[in-house]
Structure 1
Amino acid sequence: MTPLLGGVGLLARAVDYALACLDAADGADLTRPTPCADWDLRALLDHVNDSLLALHEAAALGRVFPETADDTGRDPIALVRDRATRLVGAWTPPVPRREVALGELALTSAIVTTTGALEVVVHGWDVARACGADATVPDGLATELLDLVPLLVAAGDRPARFATPIATPFGAVSGDRLVALLGRHPRWAYR
């Protein structure tokens, strides 16, 4: 099954991976730097929460609203866990949606779920790495997402949404190639 056809399954595997990465953040200093140059750990978790909320709205309402949630004063790690855990259930059949409105655009649910999977995985990796944990993306998941990157990340997305790709050595594992393709140094370490 190609990743675009198996979008919900891919999203479920991405969520499982991100939840495992989130374990590294328990008790972490939320001002730690992350592989996302302009964000500390709190800002990254806030972004992940907004992304998960948008993906849930896409499933439940068939549209994504551009606003962000006001989660002031709430534990961002607990919010990510809660939203991620509920997300896959929102996309599990019988979801009648074949299209999701994003402003004036109509996107297929497969595009939304696969894009969501890529977002969830890369930011799960970011969270774990910010907390000093090894977060190599599992080979099968990384390989499927590598196939999708050319379809989901356009040249116009760089450097605004993704940094310039990082060269990887010959024989690099697929998880390292994935994060490098999305502009992250595979062996990034909290300093």
Structure 2
Amino acid sequence: MTASLLRPAAAEFLRIAVAVRDLTAPTPCAEYDVRGLLNHLLYWGPWLIAAGRREDPPAPADGEAEAGLVAEGWRADLEKQTETLVEVFGTPSAWTGVTALGAAPMPAAVVGAMVLGEFVLHGWDLARASGQSCAYAPEAATAVYESAVAMGDQARAMGVYGPAVAVAAGASPLDRALGATGRDPAWMP
């Protein structure tokens, strides 16, 4: 997986996210409506940025559910956060060595893969929830799929992924990534 996949994935993610209008629409993530999913992204983005910079994470006053980050100006906040994530993880050195996401040390490449996965998977979630299309590069979707397979058991045990969803043998790289992370590629609101 390379840092070069991030910029185009981030651009597609932002194209989708800033066009969202109905914040109460359901998403493929059963625990989130659109507002909740955007709040999730805005809450965890600073943690990912800190991990990429090898800095201490922010000290939030509230947990994710209570944070209420989708307020006036959320689009600009998400754009700025996404640009910062691309800046931080857009260099190969950000993907080397060890970092920490909070107190949990982990390979920096795993955190970089998480960032790419956030753009691709949650971009698809938002596209489905809002009736938009999405067009991620097959290479980005393949990288997300490979990461999901490698981390699948651990991610499912932590409640990050749902049970894998079977997809057709000739499924696109994006559909394979969706299925590996517990998403039904045919999901509709």
Q: Which residue of 1 aligns with 2:12?
A: 17
Q: Which residue of 1 aligns with 2:167?
A: 168
Q: SS of 1:106's equivalent?
A: strand
Residues 77 and 65 of structure 1, relative CA distance in 2, 3 Å threshold: same
Q: SS of 1:133's equivalent?
A: coil
Letter in 1 for 2:160: R
1:117-172, CA deviations, whole angstroms, 9 ceiling, x for partnerless residues? Answer: 11221111111111011225331211122122122232552572111111112211
Note the C-alpha offset of 1:90.
2.7
Determine if contact 1:130/1:189 at 8 Å carries over to the other structure: yes
Residues 161 and 93 of structure 1, relative CA distance in 2, 3 Å threshold: closer
Counting aligned pairs with the same residue, the percent is 28
Q: Which residue of 2 aligns with 1:87?
A: 85
Q: Which runs of 4+ in 1 moved over 4 A?
A: 92-97
Distance of 1:104 and 1:159 partners within structure 2: 16
Letter in 2 for 1:88: V
Residues 65 and 59 of structure 1, relative CA distance in 2, 3 Å threshold: same
How does 1:3-152 map onto structure 2 within 5 Å? 3=1, 6=2, 8-25=3-20, 28-65=21-58, 67=60, 71=69, 73-92=71-90, 98-152=97-151
- Stretches of structure 2 lacking an aligned partner (at least 5 in a row): none
Of stretches 13-22 and 113-122 in structure 1, the one that deviates more from structure 2 is 13-22
Determine if contact 1:142/1:175 at 8 Å carries over to the other structure: yes
Distance of 1:131 and 1:41 partners within structure 2: 8
Q: SS of 1:74's equivalent?
A: coil
TM-score normalised by L of structure 1:
0.81
Q: SS of 2:100's equivalent?
A: strand
